[in-house]
Each structure stands twice: as structure tokens, then as C-alpha cells.
């Protein structure tokens, strides 16, 4: 793995390596699909990440592509065709990149950052049956249950957010869009793979790939 020398990549790693309490979970929070779809499903998708740092971009795209391959989809990482962000500053350069990829679908990914949400968990008293035997109602009533007090606390959840937009190279129109968030991400690779799963499954379910 290359050294994490650039500030944006350090931020990306810090976001995805959060050790917050709770389990990691990724889901699509908002989704849109064009009403009328025409043409065949895409067989070859260009992944175009709007991430200026080249190390971060390559790292994200390569792991996204690896998960796509495991699911049977062909996704081309844009950094292999245009490794520098200045290679995509002009429309002509983007058109050349798309033509060189041979893709019939374009997926644009963009980092949205992290949102921290605080929460208050109130105290509670839980009841559960003991394992010892009892005889009759009163014995059951007085002996078989006991209270467990759980004090309240103030906690926080971290939400790592990305947005994805899918376009047709033929019509140049947006056909699908989604916002994705991961709650309390636990690992870099695991989070990228979860995101890829959600996005690709949604595109397939929408009849686009």
C-alpha cells in the first residue's frame, strides 16, 4: 500500500477507519431512476471518481472494481486511463477517456464527507427470568424475576456519505442516482466493498446493468 502522504487521503483513511461504537452498516438513503429506459443493459461500466487526490482515487476505484468483478460485473477504473486529475479538466478529455474505455455506462462517484450525529440513550430497567426453579405463583412472582438497571449515556454515530450518478454515453442523460451512507465504518476495504454491493445491486435491480 502506498504511503498516505496527501491530506485528502489522510482524511479518507480517518473517515473509514473510525472506531465508533456500534456495527458498521451501509445503505442507500435516497434513490432515483429515469422513468423511461431504452436500449440494452450496460455490459462495461466506466467508474469515474471525482476525487482529486490520485492515491485516494486509485485506492477507492481499485477496491470498487474488485468487488464488482466478484459479483460478475465489468467496471473500468478511470485512473488507469487518466491517472491525473488534470487529464479530465476539459470536456474533450472526458470524451476521449470514455471512448478509450469502450464503456456503455458511466458511474460517477463523489465523496460527501462525514456527519456526526449525537444521541441520548435513556436509562432503563430490564427484567428477565432466572434459571432456578420455583413453586407456585407467589414463589414465581417474588423469586423468578429480577431487575437489571442500565444507566443512560450520551453517544454519537458517524455517517460516511457518498453520492453516485449513472449516465448513458449514448444519450448523455442521467438514468439513475443514489446517495449512500455507512454508519460507523470499521475498515477501509470493507466499507468500499459494502458501498459497491449496494450501488451495483441497485443498478441491476433498476434494469441498467
47-81 pLDDT tens trace: 999 988 888 899 999 999 999 999 999 999 999 99
- In this prediction, residues 31-52 reach a mean pLDDT of 91
pLDDT greater than 70 at residue 13: no
Does residue 36 form part of some domain?
Answer: yes
- In this prediction, residues 153-167 reach a mean pLDDT of 90
Does residue 177 form part of some domain?
Answer: yes
CATH of the domain at 69: 3.40.50
Domain of residue 115 covers 23-120+158-205
Q: What is the pLDDT of residue 144?
A: 54
Q: In sequence order, what DSSP letters do the residues of the chain get, joined into one string?
A: -----SHHHHHHHHHHT---SS--EEEEEEEEE-S---SPPPSEEEEEE--SSHHHHHHHHHHHHHHHHHTT-EEEEGGGT--SGGGGSSHHHHHHHHHHHT-SEEEEEEEEEEEEEEEEE--EEEEEE-SS---HHHHHHHHSEEEEEE--EEEEEEEEEEEEEEE-TTT--EEEEEEEEEES---HHHHHHHHHHHHHHHHHHTT--
The total domain count for the chain is: 1
Does residue 43 form part of some domain?
Answer: yes
Higher pLDDT, 115 or 20: 115
% of the chain at pLDDT higher than 90: 46
Prediction pTM value? 0.75
Q: What is the pLDDT of residue 20?
A: 43
For the chain, the average pLDDT equals 82
Amino acid at each position: 500500500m502506498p504511503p498516505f502522504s496527501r491530506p485528502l487521503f489522510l482524511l479518507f483513511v480517518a473517515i473509514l477507519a473510525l472506531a465508533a461504537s456500534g456495527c458498521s452498516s451501509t445503505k442507500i438513503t435516497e434513490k432515483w431512476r429515469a422513468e423511461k429506459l431504452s436500449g440494452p443493459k450496460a455490459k462495461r461500466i466506466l467508474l469515474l471518481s471525482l476525487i482529486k487526490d490520485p492515491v485516494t482515487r486509485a485506492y477507492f476505484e481499485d477496491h470498487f472494481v474488485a468487488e464488482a468483478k466478484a459479483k460478475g460485473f465489468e467496471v473500468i477504473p478511470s485512473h488507469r486511463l487518466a491517472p491525473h486529475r488534470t487529464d479530465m479538466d476539459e470536456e474533450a478529455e472526458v470524451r476521449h477517456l470514455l471512448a478509450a474505455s469502450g464503456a456503455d455506462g458511466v458511474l460517477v462517484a463523489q465523496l460527501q464527507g462525514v456527519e456526526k450525529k449525537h444521541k441520548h440513550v435513556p436509562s432503563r430497567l430490564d427484567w428477565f427470568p432466572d434459571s432456578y426453579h420455583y413453586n407456585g405463583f407467589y414463589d414465581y412472582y417474588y423469586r423468578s424475576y429480577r431487575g437489571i438497571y442500565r444507566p443512560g449515556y450520551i453517544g454519537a454515530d458517524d455517517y460516511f456519505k457518498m453520492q453516485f450518478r449513472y449516465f448513458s454515453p449514448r444519450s448523455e442523460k442521467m438514468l439513475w442516482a443514489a446517495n449512500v451512507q455507512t454508519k460507523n465504518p470499521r475498515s477501509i476495504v470493507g466499507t468500499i466493498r459494502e458501498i459497491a454491493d449496494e450501488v451495483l445491486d441497485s443498478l441491476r435491480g433498476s434494469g441498467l446493468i
